[in-house]
Amino acid sequence: MGRHNFLSIRDFSPEDIHYLLDLAHEMKTHPSAHTGVLKGKTLAMIFEKPSLRTRVSFDVGMQQLGGFSLYLSNAEINLGKRESVYDVAKNLERMVQAIMIRTYAHDIVERMAEYANIPIINGLTDYSHPCQAMADYLTMQELKGAVAGLKVAFIGDGNNVCHSLMFAGAQLGAHVWVAVPPGYEPRPEAVEWALQRGTRTGGTCTLTHDPVEAATDADVVYTDAWASMGQESEAELRRGVFAPYQVNSDLFRHAKYDALFMHCLPAHRGEEVTDEVIDSAHSVVYQQAENRLHAQKAILLELMQYREAPERPAVAARELAQFEI
């Protein structure tokens, strides 16, 4: 693919995204064919935000590929306070072969990639969640046969998951509809990028404030928590604002008869989705969660398998001068 990091789905070509999805499917179907391919390699996992699926899927994925993973919590690093992003990057590049980071500000991931001479994987930022979107579209591909032409309705907050869902949909030729309350739209530059990329693939991106319009004839209805990590103080306000955007049976019946229900989890049952929808035969949330493992194994394999340790320059003469007697 010619890329050394996995920071955003925007960084790749449509062909790259198709390749990774096909690789993920092949690795899921024939897991034994890749046993041991990352033997002796270590992934450092930095978590400023906690996670069930991200931690387990990367940890298990590395083990299944023959490598190791190392969990680093915010208490151990405290990025920007106890350790600078630069120092963390330069230390870890000498001890591990890749870094996965789950953090708040997207620029932290970008700076880590700038400073480190090893692959960096975006495990989540406030701006995007590319690994999740890869699992989402892998699930759609498995169950619908092809992604191009699907109507994918995202109903809720124009957040990081929404951004990556739009980016991947544009790469793959899907028609992504985003229904949000006024004032909670995805970032304009994210929408503009999806629209521009869609001119190449046939994909579209449509914003609306009407959840029924988005859900009507949808192949996929997707939602997420109304308040993300870091927005806890807004939770009560958001419950009132987003109540008309709840995915319940009344809304879901506007979708196609064989529509899928998707959620990146964790779900707040009774808020953004009702039990009757998330527990219905239309729901694929656990297959979607499992596919985090397979999509990320493809990313790990692509970034780490043939990646040699970076060459390091000799210590500069000016640095040695201090030791001269």
Which listed residue (131, 162, 205, 264) is catalytic?
A: 264
- Bridge partner list, 154: 178, 222
Per the listing, tokens 């109304």 go with 226
In the set 97, 132, 171, 288, the catalytic residue is: 132
Q: Which residue stretches of the chain are H helix? A: 14-29, 53-64, 74-77, 85-92, 106-115, 130-144, 160-172, 188-201, 211-215, 235-242, 249-252, 275-278, 285-304, 317-320
- From the candidates 102, 163, 175, 294, give the one annotated as an active-site residue: 102
Decide if 126 contacts 106 (C-beta within 8 A): yes
3-class SS shares of the chain: helix, strand, coil, % to 5: 45, 15, 35
132 flagged as catalytic:
yes
Question: Considering 129, 197, 238, 263, which one is annotated as catalytic?
Answer: 129
Active site residue 292: yes
Q: Catalytic residue at 22?
A: no
Check if 94 is active-site. Answer: no
For residue 102, the tally of other CB atoms under 10 A from its CB is 24
In this structure, the number of other CB atoms found within 10 A of the CB of residue 243 comes to 12
What six digits make up the tokens of 107?
Answer: 């620029």
Active site residue 282: no
Catalytic annotation, pick one of 136, 224, 246, 294: 224
Rounded Cα gap, residues 291 and 54, in angstroms: 11
Catalytic residue of the set 53, 175, 263, 292:
292
- Concerning whether 264 is annotated as a catalytic residue, the answer is yes
Question: Which positions are catalytic?
Answer: 102, 129, 132, 224, 264, 292
